[in-house]
């Protein structure tokens, strides 16, 4: 039986995970707006004119770059999730009609060669089942000297906020999926040496990883939506009975107390800013 690249991720992002991210688009965009601004600044500093946003989701970062480029350039987003790309295209009609969105797997999509002078991503590149193949494919779509700018999470240990919900819920739920080191997912690019190997094997040069710590936040009123709709806990709670669900919600809310400040949830996102270039 033939293996289909990223089959599991495609099913998730075109199913319940994708729909959850559509529903929580406003919350996610607000939470990660500081990273969006950082990437827009990177695009400007590089003088880029043709930009690809990898794993663009509902298109917030793509549209922010398109606004910054104006008539001087073109922003394109690619994502495997049809529900998220539908949202991105609808947003583009209102805000940046020239922006393009591709619903496809960046690991296998047949890009036109040598068309982008910069490729970027906000948490969109950690999900490939064969990251070397993905970055080899992406390199072919970059011009000679083209740049790469990726924001990814560092280690689980450095991002305790991100696992607060599942750690608090674990005593009450036997079926929480374990975090597997280097497996496709949120922390797949935590190991700097592994990332350097992936990009070098994919044909990228001048690979560098700079640690960046970014304060993020959202209203406390959105906290329950955050942990019941998104992430591993959100997946499990969809199938839990109501009594278990309410016990978990109480425990998890209490666990987030250290992050509550004046009606907001505030946390540090410990990330890598990854840069590389096509030789």
Interval 152-174: pLDDT, tens: 999 999 999 999 999 999 999 98
Query: Which are the contacts of 24, defined by CB distance < 8 A and separation ≥ 6?
Result: 225, 226, 229, 230
Average pLDDT over residues 185-210: 98
pLDDT at 16: 87
pLDDT at 234: 86
Residue holding tokens 């425990």?
251
Q: Is residue 228 part of a domain?
A: no
Per cent of the chain over pLDDT 90 is 87
With tokens 């406003």, the residue in question is 26
Instruction: Give the mean pLDDT of 108-130.
Output: 97
Q: Which of 92, 239, 105, 257 is nearest to 175 (CA)?
A: 239
Q: Find the mean pLDDT for residues 106-114.
A: 98
Higher per-residue pLDDT: 206 or 12 = 206
How far is it, in rounded angstroms, from Cα 138 to Cα 134? Answer: 6
pLDDT on residue 2: 57
- What is the reported pLDDT for 181? 83
Residue 232 lies in a domain: no
Q: Does residue 235 lie in a domain region?
A: no
Instruction: Report if residue 169 sits inside a domain.
Output: no
> DSSP for 198-244?
HHHHTTEEEEEEEEEEEEEEEEGGGHHHHHHHSHHHHHHHTTS-HHH
Number of compact structural domains in the chain: 1
Whether residue 230 lies inside any domain: the answer is: no
- Is position 32 within any domain? yes
Interacting residues of 50 by C-beta distance below 8 A, sequence separation 6+:
73, 74, 76, 115, 116, 117, 118, 143
* Domain encompassing residue 213: 7-155+183-217+269-278
Q: Looking at 58-67, 76-85, 228-237, 249-258, which range is the least confident one?
A: 228-237
Residue 150 forms part of a structural domain: yes
Model pTM above 0.85: yes
Residue 81: pLDDT over 50: yes
The answer as to whether 261 is a domain residue is no
- What's the pLDDT at 1? 47
Q: What is the CATH number of the domain that holds 144?
A: 3.40.50.150
pLDDT of residue 172: 93
Give residue-wise pLDDT tens across range 234-279. 888 888 899 999 999 999 999 999 999 999 999 999 999 999 999 8
- What is the share, in percent, of the chain residues with pLDDT greater than 70? 99
């Amino acid at each position: 039986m033939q293996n289909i690249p990223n089959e599991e991720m495609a099913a998730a992002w075109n199913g319940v995970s994708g729909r959850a991210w559509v529903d929580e688009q406003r919350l996610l965009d607000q939470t990660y707006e500081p990273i969006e601004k950082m990437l827009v600044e990177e695009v400007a500093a590089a003088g880029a004119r043709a930009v690809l946003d990898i794993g663009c989701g509902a298109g917030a970062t793509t549209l922010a770059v398109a606004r910054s480029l104006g008539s001087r350039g073109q922003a394109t987003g690619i994502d495997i999730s049809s529900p998220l790309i539908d949202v991105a295209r609808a947003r583009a009609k209102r805000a940046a009609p020239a922006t393009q969105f591709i619903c496809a797997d960046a690991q296998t999509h047949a890009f036109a060669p040598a068309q982008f002078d910069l490729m970027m991503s906000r948490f969109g590149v950690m999900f490939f089942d064969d990251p070397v193949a993905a970055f080899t494919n992406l390199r072919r779509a970059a011009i000679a000297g083209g740049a790469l700018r990726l924001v990814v999470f560092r280690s689980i240990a450095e991002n305790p906020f991100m696992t607060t919900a599942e750690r608090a819920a674990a005593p009450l739920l036997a079926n929480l999926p374990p975090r597997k080191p280097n497996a496709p997912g949120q922390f797949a690019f935590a190991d700097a040496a592994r990332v350097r190997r992936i990009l070098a094997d994919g044909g990228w040069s001048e690979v560098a990883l700079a640690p960046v710590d970014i304060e993020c936040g959202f209203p406390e009123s959105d906290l329950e939506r955050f942990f019941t709709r998104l992430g591993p806990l959100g997946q499990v709670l969809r199938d839990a009975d109501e009594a278990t669900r309410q016990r978990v919600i109480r425990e998890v809310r209490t666990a987030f107390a250290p992050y509550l400040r004046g009606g907001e949830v505030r946390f540090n996102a410990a990330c890598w800013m990854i840069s590389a270039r096509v030789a």
